[in-house]
């Protein structure tokens, strides 16, 4: 079949690290093109698990600068590195001042580095849903390290924790993100803390507060999250951050943590895909042509209530009803 040959040669070019082929594959998968699903299947079979590190934190904390320096560090080991920036303000996604863009050029002209930026949120909310798939493409393309930069806004941090093998939370002094104000959930997903802008006053105080907080709530898995001071602009502390990532990986391999994380990752991915697929099917089938607004009218005018409306929509969905056994058939 000609089409399948084309797909095969596309996959071969991706595996060889052809940037154009990689870019086209990511675009196809992001936009859910019909050929994407078979392509993804072939790529998944080629993908060798990369070390995926999530770099998250408030805008301006220095994530992109750190990612750039970390990538350079991994490149010294001749590793192919993928960078996924899920951050609208990231220099990687073009939202940079000129100085930043020139800085990033050193990476973007390196054939061993593949950089991809993505929209922050998918249509259905949450971390750009395709980010997981992009990681798979980069793994198929031979990246043994993938760095995922995300802006830390609530739920995204938890989602990046599902995507990454290790999550680095980047803090910086003088940004108003006092350790006290962190939500418990954010603290729990960080495997490593980087206190960036260590060249600025206040870094020591952030570290003290953080260590105090960590000492009162030790993790149940036995990992003690290291706290590393970095100055991303000069690269100081980046080697220590890299070592912390290596140590965490070794810890995960020596305990069952890495395996447990893998299971959590694929479980979350399966459920997210299922949620998306079912929602899209029902919307397409039951809510197109302004039909959703008729339901809204019914609720407003008292003919229905939101729960009953959803019950009726689900009941009417032939997709759901023909493809799932009814309760009495189970």
Give the binding site for ligand GDP (CB under 6 A): 57, 59-65, 89-91, 196-197, 199-200, 231-233
CB nearer to Mg ion: pick between 94 and 306: 94
Q: How many residues bind Mg ion (CB under 5 A)?
A: 4
CA 15 to CA 298: how far, in whole Å?
Answer: 53
The least CB distance from residue 322 to ligand GDP, in Å, is 48
**Between 82 and 237, CB nearer to ligand GDP:** 237
Q: Which stretch binds Mg ion (CB under 5 A): 59-67, 134-142, 273-281, 304-312?
A: 59-67
With binding defined as CB under 5 A, does residue 87 bind Mg ion? yes
Looking at the Cβ atoms of 54 and 252, the one nearer to Mg ion is 54
Token digits for 271? 């459920």
258: number of Cβ within 10 Å:
17
Q: Which does 117 bind (CB under 5 to 8 A by kind): Mg ion, ligand GDP, none?
A: none
| Distances 158 to 103, 171, 221, 230, 329 between C-alpha atoms, Å | 30, 16, 17, 23, 37
Q: Return the bridge partners of 194, or none.
A: 170, 228
Q: What is the per-residue DSSP string for 217-286?
A: S--TTS----EEE-BTTTTBTHHHHHHHHHHHHHHHHHSSHHHHHHHHHHHHHHHHHHHHHHHHHHHHHH
- Give min distance, CB of 85 to ligand GDP, in A: 8
Query: 85 forms bridges with which residues in the sheet?
Result: 117, 149
Residue 95 interacting partner from ligand GDP, Mg ion, none (CB closer than 5 to 8 Å by kind):
none
Position 90 contacts Mg ion (CB under 5 A) = yes
Q: Does 64 bind Mg ion (CB under 5 A)?
A: yes
N-term to C-term CA, the chain: 40
Question: Which of the listed partners (ligand GDP, Mg ion, none) does 65 bind, with a CB threshold of 5 to 8 Å by partner kind?
Answer: ligand GDP
Which listed range, 17-25, 58-66, 108-116, 200-208, lies at the site for Mg ion (CB under 5 A)?
Answer: 58-66
Q: Which among ligand GDP, Mg ion, none contacts residue 231 (Cβ within 5 to 8 A by kind)?
A: ligand GDP
């Amino acid at each position: 079949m000609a089409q399948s040959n084309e797909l095969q040669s596309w996959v071969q070019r991706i595996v060889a690290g052809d940037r154009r082929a990689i870019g086209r594959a990511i675009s196809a998968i992001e936009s859910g093109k019909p050929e994407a699903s078979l392509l993804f299947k072939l790529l998944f079979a080629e993908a060798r698990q990369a070390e995926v590190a999530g770099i998250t934190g408030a805008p301006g904390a220095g994530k992109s600068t750190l990612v750039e320096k970390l990538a350079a560090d991994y490149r010294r080991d001749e590793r192919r590195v993928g960078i996924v920036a899920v951050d609208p303000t990231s220099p990687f996604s073009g939202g940079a001042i000129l100085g930043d863009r020139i800085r990033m050029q050193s990476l973007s002209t390196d054939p061993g580095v593949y950089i991809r930026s993505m929209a922050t949120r998918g249509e259905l909310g949450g971390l750009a849903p395709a980010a997981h798939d992009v990681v798979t493409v980069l793994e198929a393309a031979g990246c043994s390290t993938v760095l995922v930069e995300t802006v830390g806004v609530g739920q995204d941090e938890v989602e990046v924790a599902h995507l990454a093998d290790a999550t680095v939370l980047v803090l910086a002094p003088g940004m108003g993100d006092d350790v006290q104000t962190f939500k418990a959930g954010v603290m729990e997903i960080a495997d490593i803390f980087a206190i960036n802008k260590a060249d600025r006053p206040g870094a020591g105080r952030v570290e003290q507060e953080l260590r105090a907080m960590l000492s009162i709530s030790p993790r149940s898995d036995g990992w003690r999250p290291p706290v590393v001071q970095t100055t991303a602009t000069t690269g100081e502390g980046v080697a220590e951050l890299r070592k912390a990532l290596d140590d965490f990986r070794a810890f995960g391999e020596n305990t069952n943590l890495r395996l447990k994380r893998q299971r959590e990752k694929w479980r979350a991915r399966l459920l997210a895909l299922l949620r998306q697929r079912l929602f899209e099917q029902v919307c397409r089938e039951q809510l197109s042509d302004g039909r959703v607004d008729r339901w809204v009218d019914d609720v407003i005018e008292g003919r229905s209530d939101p729960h009953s409306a959803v019950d009726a929509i689900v009941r009417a969905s032939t997709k759901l009803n023909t493809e799932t056994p009814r309760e009495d058939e189970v």
